[in-house]
Amino acid sequence: MKALSIHNLKKTYSNGFEALKGIDLEVESGDFFALLGPNGAGKSTLIGIISSLVNKSSGQVAICGHDIQDQSAAAKSCIGLVPQEINFNQFETTKNVVLNQAGFYGIPRKQALINTERCLKQMDLWEKRDVVSRRLSGGMKRRLMIARAMVHNPRLLILDEPTAGVDIEIRRSMWKLMEEVNQSGTTIILTTHYLEEAESLCRNIAIINNGQIIEKSSMHDLLSRIPLEYFVLDVAAPLTEAPQIQGYAIHLADSHSLEVAVDKSLGINSLFQQLAEQGITVLSLKNKSNRLEQLFIDLVQ
């Protein structure tokens, strides 16, 4: 079964702005799916419509086979949303934020208490259960929103930039949590501006721009289309100019580092061999930038 099925979805706001121009998209159950796009591309509108926060102009959206208009309650029961901005009641305690959400989904109190404890423990927030939510740190607030979204065991979890503004340590711990949630069978749709995040977590990807899906494929297929890899080489002795090696575009970044564009068909062995022949010792090597980032920029420009 498809976790999400969208057909010819359009949205025009009252000021005439056409945010979505006929979106077609399907996400399989159990997938970890990336929805990427630049600011203003239509991601938030699309997520808003899927989660019933924005009224669509036309088209069909079904969640786990339930149409969001005709079978609204069934569709809503399948979905959990972690929005971009903090949107819980900051005067409630951590526990009540999650417990209230369980109540909105009609979960009896005894079961709601069990689910709340499970979700808060999973998000490492159980110790903070009696703390007023506005006193939590930024990372804890983000984790609280994930706990709240999972309290009714949704089959589809939408994470709208869940790691925006959190430090790398928290971000990595959240990646681990997201992977665990996905491995337990929950379909995840992730939007993020950290493309490294999408590349390392997601199996399939769609890129949206100007209200249209401009790319849909598996992450593997998309990345295999990149013809060049960019590397930065740190060299032992200072250089005054970039060495000339046929087949490789080499640029001198500074006296101790070279930027090299490597054609995947050529490979990298011959580069090292020829650098060694010219007496250049390479101390270390790293990717210049995230691979997906380069492709993303090429696609949306």
Partner 1 sequence: MNYYIAFLTIFFKEIRRFTRIWPQTLLPPAITTSLYFLIFGQLIGQRVGSVNGQSYMDYIVPGIILMSVISHSYSNVVSSFYSTKFQRHIEELLVAPVPNSVILLGYVSGGIARGLLVGSVVTGIAMMFSQFSVLNVGMALWVAFLTSLLFALAGFINAVFADSFDDISIIPNFVLTPLSYLGGVFYSIAMLPEFWQKIALANPILYMINAFRFCIIGVSDIDIQLAITMTIMFIVLLTLIALALLHKGVGIKN
- List of residues contacting partner 1 (CB under 8 A): 13, 45, 48, 51-55, 72-74, 76-77, 79, 81, 83, 85, 87-91, 100-101, 103-109, 148
Give least dist CB 53 to partner 1, A. Answer: 6
Task: Report the distance separating Cα 5 and Cα 26, nearest Å.
Answer: 5
Q: How far is the CB of 159 from partner 1 (least distance, A)?
A: 14
Query: Would you say 107 or 262 has its CB closer to partner 1?
Result: 107
In the complex, what is the shortest distance from the CB of residue 108 to partner 1, in angstroms, rounded to a whole number? Answer: 6
Q: With beta carbons less than 8 A apart as the criterion, state whether 10 and 174 touch.
A: no
* Structure tokens, 170: 């928290």
The residue among 63 and 235 lying less far from partner 1, judged by its C-beta, is: 63
Cα distances from 231 to residues 222, 224, 228, 268, 300, in angstroms, run: 20, 17, 10, 10, 23
* Beta-carbon contacts of residue 253 (< 8 Å; ≥ 6 apart): 232, 259
Q: How far is the CB of 91 from partner 1 (least distance, A)?
A: 8
CB 248, min distance to partner 1, A = 51
- Nearest residue (CB) to partner 1, 5 versus 44: 44
Nearer of residues 105 and 126 to partner 1, judged by Cβ: 105
Element (H, E) at 295: helix 291-300
Give me the least distance between CB of 217 and partner 1, in Å please.
29
With a CB cutoff of 8 Å and minimum separation 6, the contacts of 198 are 34, 36, 190, 192, 205, 219, 292
Nearer to partner 1, 98 or 235 (CB): 98
Contact 193, 86 (CB under 8 A): no
Q: Is there a contact between 22 and 9 (Cβ–Cβ < 8 Å)?
A: yes
Whether residue 246 contacts residue 263, with contact meaning beta carbons closer than 8 Å, is answered with: no
Cβ-based nearer residue to partner 1, 76 or 171: 76
